[in-house]
Structure 1
C-alpha cells in the first residue's frame, strides 16, 4: 500500500458525524419563530443539514436552509450554541445554532414556506418552548436565548445540557 491508500483507509474507518444547522429568529416581543415539518411530528427551528460534499460550512448551510424553507435570506449573526447530540439509530449530530436577529413585523408577512417540507409556522413565547420543542432541541434554544440575554459567549452543549468546565 502507498501512503495515499493508507490515509484513505484511515479516513474511511473514522466514525461519521452529521452536521445540522438552525437559525433563531425572534420578534420584538421575544417570541421565537418555529416551523412545522411535514416529515415528522412536532416543531423545529428553520434550518437543516449541512451539505458538506459541496464544501458548505455550517453558517452557509444555515442561511441556505432558512432561505429555502422560509424565504428569509438574511446575513446571520453570531453562533449562539453548539450541541453534541448522541445518535439513536443514526450517527451523532453536531448542531450549530445561529442568531437570526429580531424580525420586523413586515418580514413575518414575507415568510413563504417550502411546501415540500413545511406545513406552517408560529411564534412561541420562551416560557412555552418546552411544549413545542422537547428534549435536546428545546434545551438548546433556551441556552441560546440565555446567551443572548446575558451577552455571554457561545453555549457548549451535550444533548442540550450546558457543559460547565
Structure 2
C-alpha cells in the first residue's frame, strides 16, 4: 500500500467524536452544572477533545475546566466512558472524570467563560433529572454511584450500562 493509498484509506474511515468532562461536587454532594448559551439545557464543565493537537481525554477535561469555569484542577480518576449515538451526528465517546469536591473558596473563585456559558449552579442528586437530559443525565447518575461505591470505571452505551 502506498502512502497515498493509506491516506485515502484513513480519510474513508468512519468518524467518531470524543468529549471529556469533570464531575465536581460540593461538601453536601451537590453536582456543579453549567448552563450553555448555545443550546438548551444544562451540562457539566467539559467539551470536545482537540485531537488534532494530540490532546488526550484527561488533558481535554483539564483544559475545558480551566476555560469554562476558571479552575486549574487536574482530573481525578475516570468514572465513566459512554458511547453515544444520535441522529444527525457521528457517534461520541464521552469520558467523565472525577473533578473532586470543591470547597467554599473554590466555589467563590468560579469564573464562567462568557462566550459559552450563562450561569452555574449546584444541584442535588434528586433534582438532576430536571436539569440533565438523556444519556448525560444517566451518565452522571452512574458516575455518582461509582463514587459512592468506590468501584472502578463503568462502561456505558447511551448512558446505560454496557454489560
TM-score range, shorter chain: over 0.9
Match of 2:20 in 1: 21
TM-score, normalised to structure 1, is 0.97
Match of 1:100 in 2: 99
Any runs of at least 4 consecutive aligned residues in structure 1 with deviations exceeding 6 A, and if so which? Answer: none
Q: Deviations over 1:36-71 (max 9, x none)?
A: 000001100000100010111111011001100000
Deviation at 1:134, TM superposition (A): 1.1
Residue 116 of structure 2 corresponds to residue 117 of structure 1 = yes
Structure 1 residue runs without a partner (length 5+): none
Match of 2:53 in 1: 54
Deviation at 1:75, TM superposition (A): 1.4
Deviation at 1:3, TM superposition (A): 2.0
Partners in 1 of 2:6 and 2:153 — Cα distance?
A: 34
Match of 2:40 in 1: 41
Match of 1:72 in 2: 71
The equivalences for 1:148-159 within 5 A come to 148-159=147-158
Q: State the SS of the aligned residue for 2:86.
A: coil
Partners in 2 of 1:95 and 1:18 — Cα distance?
A: 8
Deviation at 1:87, TM superposition (A): 2.7
Partners in 2 of 1:97 and 1:38 — Cα distance?
A: 22
Alignment length (residue pairs): 163
Match of 1:128 in 2: 127
Deviation at 1:6, TM superposition (A): 1.9
Partners in 1 of 2:2 and 2:129 — Cα distance?
A: 51
Deviation at 1:127, TM superposition (A): 0.9
Partners in 2 of 1:134 and 1:128 — Cα distance?
A: 12
CA RMSD of aligned residues (A): 0.8
Deviation at 1:73, TM superposition (A): 0.9
Match of 1:5 in 2: 4
